């Protein structure tokens, strides 16, 4: 019998690893995830690199690059791009076999540029060119300020992972930004085949309301929001706008479930994997969640294209005093602030390590 992760893969969902370290590249850890757990892509973020750098795994590289005069952000991007090139190469066969649908890795643009769309788009183009890998996304937050950079990057042919999305409205805005960029390429006679994913964060929903709701609603909000998002995704896929662009050679922006590790110790550790199983989507998971699902995960019925009972469950939360739309906005704002904080901490870590190993 196929493993739970293989069953998800056969359902049509891509499983990506939300982690990267030089150690796992060197010791074959990433390849084992590919071979044993059906992993077909990878995401990264500043906190992941921060923890890896703290471990000392990058000391030799930091010493070498620091001696060459690299500091701060420039030093970090050199380290990260070296790793992500290797990861991209590990997934290249998947990328080519799926004609570019799968087999991607992601690198985040500096969140300190978040309120400057033009600077973000320039940085995205420069990082993608520096990496030199066709299966590398640049992560841009799907905030009001970030969405114009998404459109500009897609129009320039830069693949984008639109991150920091929380609800259906934010997803629709990200999809619109992507489609607008593709329409600009079509109008200019350019190839409209530019990859993109829209990353919707899940577990933070249940954590945010844990102390404000009755026990009967515990750990139900994220999956209800997910049902609403998935319904919106299917509507975008079926829309006249997407169908028109498909005839020009464009491909859909795929939906990616992010932040899928369970925060409630009393809830199943695979809650946001089994509950978000759906074809033509992606679930990116930290190591512990991948291994948990591979060990004891269960694949049931896929998500309902019409959202299933999401409206009824969301109505229960509204009756309990939870303003879901307002919470989505707050989660996005808090997430953007946390990204900046993590980024600053990462750069401070880089500089500290550079000084200590010099």
- Residue 45: what pLDDT? 87
SS3 37: helix
CA-to-CA distance for 240 and 9, rounded, in angstroms?
29
pTM beyond 0.95: the answer is yes
For the chain, give percent helix, strand, coil, nearest 5: 55, 10, 30
- Cβ atoms of residues 48 and 20 within 8 Å: yes
The two tokens of residue 347 are 């750069």
Burial (CB count <10 Å: 0-12, 13-18, 19+), residue 240:
exposed
- Paired strand residues for 199: 256
Is 344 labeled as catalytic in the residue annotation? Answer: no
Q: pLDDT tens digits for 287-313?
A: 999 999 999 999 999 999 999 999 999
4-357 CATH: 3.20.20.70
Q: pLDDT tens digits for 211-263?
A: 999 999 999 999 999 999 999 999 999 999 999 999 999 999 999 999 999 99
**From the candidates 65, 134, 139, 344, which is the catalytic residue?**
139
The two tokens of residue 159 are 């693949």
Helix 117-131, helix 72-90: angle, nearest 10: 50
CA distances to 8, 149, 285 from 19, in Å: 19, 25, 8
Q: pLDDT tens digits for 21-77?
A: 999 999 999 999 999 999 999 999 888 888 888 888 899 999 999 999 999 999 999
Residues 6+ apart with CB under 8 A from 38: 3, 5, 6, 8, 9, 15
Burial (CB count <10 Å: 0-12, 13-18, 19+), residue 37:
buried
């Amino acid at each position: 019998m196929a493993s739970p992760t293989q069953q998800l893969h056969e359902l049509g969902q891509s499983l990506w690893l939300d982690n990267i370290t030089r150690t796992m590249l060197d010791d074959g850890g990433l390849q084992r995830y590919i071979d044993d757990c059906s992993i077909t892509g990878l995401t990264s973020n500043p906190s992941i690199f921060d923890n890896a750098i703290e471990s000392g795994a990058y000391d030799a590289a930091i010493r070498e690059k620091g001696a060459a005069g690299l500091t701060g952000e420039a030093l970090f991007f050199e380290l990260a791009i070296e790793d992500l090139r290797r990861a991209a190469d590990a997934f290249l066969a998947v990328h080519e076999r799926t004609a570019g649908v799968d087999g991607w890795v992601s690198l985040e643009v500096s969140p300190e540029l978040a309120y400057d769309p033009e600077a973000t788009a320039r940085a995205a183009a420069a990082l993608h060119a520096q990496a030199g890998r066709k299966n590398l996304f640049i992560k841009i937050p799907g905030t009001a300020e970030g969405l114009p950079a998404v459109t500009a990057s897609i129009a320039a042919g830069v693949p984008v992972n639109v991150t920091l999305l929380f609800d259906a409205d934010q997803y629709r805005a990200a999809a619109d930004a992507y489609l607008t960029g593709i329409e600009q390429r079509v109008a200019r006679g350019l190839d409209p085949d530019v990859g993109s994913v829209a990353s919707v964060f899940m577990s933070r929903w249940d954590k945010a309301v844990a102390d404000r709701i009755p026990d009967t609603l515990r750990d139900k909000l994220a999956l209800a929001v997910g049902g609403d998002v998935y319904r919106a995704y299917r509507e975008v896929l079926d829309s006249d706008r997407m169908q028109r662009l498909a005839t020009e050679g464009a491909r859909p922006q795929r939906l990616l479930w992010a932040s899928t590790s369970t925060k409630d110790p009393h809830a199943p550790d695979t809650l946001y994997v089994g509950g978000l199983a759906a074809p033509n989507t992606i679930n990116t998971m930290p190591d512990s969640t991948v291994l948990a699902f591979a060990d004891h995960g269960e694949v049931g019925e896929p998500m309902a294209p019409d959202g299933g009972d999401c409206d009824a469950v969301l109505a229960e939360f509204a009756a309990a005093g939870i303003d879901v739309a307002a919470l989505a906005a707050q989660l996005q704002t808090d997430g953007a602030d946390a990204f900046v904080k993590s980024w600053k901490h990462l750069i401070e870590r880089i500089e500290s390590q550079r000084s200590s190993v010099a």
